[in-house]
Amino acid sequence: MNIKILSRNPNLYSTQRLVEAAKKRKHNVEVIDPLKCDIVIEKRRPNIYYKGGYIEDVDAIIPRIGASVTFYGTAVVRQFEMMGAFTTVGSEALVRSRDKLRSLQVLSRAKIGLPKTVFTNYSRDVEGVIKQVGGTPLVIKLLEGTQGLGVVLAETRNAAESVIEAFNGLQARVIVQEFIKEAKGADIRAFVVDGHVVGAIKRQGKEGEFRSNLHRGGSASVIELTDEEEVAAVRAAKAMGLGVAGVDLLQSGRGPLILEVNSSPGLEGIEKATEKDIAKSVIRYIEKNV
C-alpha cells in the first residue's frame, strides 16, 4: 500500500513511529508537508502538486495537522479524499474537532457526559455566567487554546470576574466550565482506534498545577479504564466521526466527563507509559479499510 503521512516535521516522535510501523508491515510510506502541497482543482481531475510533480496512486493518508494550520491542512486532506484516498481522520471531522464549542455541542447532542459549560457573546452579566456553572472555582478556556495554553483556573469570584472581563475586553472568545474538584488535577487520555480503546493513561498535573498536559510538566501512568469510561471514550470518538482519536476525560462523582476529543493525538506519552505499539494499531486500521 502507498501511505502518505501529512506532517510538517518528519522528526517528530509520532511521525517517526507511524513511518516505522508502516514499513514493518511492508507498506510504502512517505512524509509530506501539507503546507507545501499545491491543490489543483479541475473538472473530474483533482490533483496535488508536490515538490515538482503530481502525487498519484495514494491508498491512504494519516493527517498529523497542527492546530495553527487547520484551514490549509484540512483543504489538503479534502483533496486527497476527492482523489479516492482513505484517511484516518476525515476533513469534516478534523474541522469539527478543532472547534471546541462545536465539539461540545456535538457531544451534548449525543448525550455524552460533559462538565457544565457556558459560552456567551461577551456578556456583561459576568456574575450570571459564574452562577450558571455552579460558582467558583471554575475554569476559563480560550476557544483557540491548545496543550493547556489559554486555560485559567479562577478560584474566587473576584478572580473569575476579572479574567472573564479581561478576555471580553480583548474580544477573545472563551468558554467557562465548572471545576471538577474530585478529579484532583488529573485527567485520562484514552486512545481510540476504529471504535476500540487501544491504550489509556492517567495524566497528573505537577504540584500546584491543575492542568495535566504532559507539555506542561505533567506525568503519565497506565490506567485500566472502567467499562463506563471505555464506553464514554468510544462514544465520544464516534460522535465526532473520528476513526483515530485521543479522548480526554475526567473522573467525577457523576461518572466520566469528556473534556476534549483530539484528532491528532500524540503517540509519545501513551506509547512510553503503556509500552503498547499504538502506531501499529493505526496502520492496521488502514489495512482493514483499504
Cell numbers representing residue 220 in the block: 503519565
pLDDT tens digit sequence for 252-278: 999 999 999 999 999 999 999 999 999
| CB 251 within 8 Å of CB 224 | no
Beta partners for residue 64, in sequence order: none
CATH topology of domain 182-263: D-amino Acid Aminotransferase; Chain A, domain 1 (3.30.470)
pLDDT tens digit sequence for 182-232: 998 899 999 999 999 999 999 987 665 556 555 555 778 999 999 999 999
State mean pLDDT over 118-140: 92
* Architecture in CATH of 117-179: 2-Layer Sandwich (3.30)
Please tell me the predicted confidence (pLDDT) of residue 223. Answer: 95
Q: Where are the domains of the chain?
A: 2-89, 117-179, 182-263
Please tell me the predicted confidence (pLDDT) of residue 149. Answer: 72
Angle between helix axes 13-24 and 278-289 (nearest 10 degrees) is 60
Beta strands 60-63 and 2-6: pairing type?
Answer: parallel
pLDDT tens digit sequence for 65-113: 998 999 999 999 999 999 999 999 999 999 999 999 999 999 999 999 9
Domain 2-89 has CATH 3.20.20.80: no
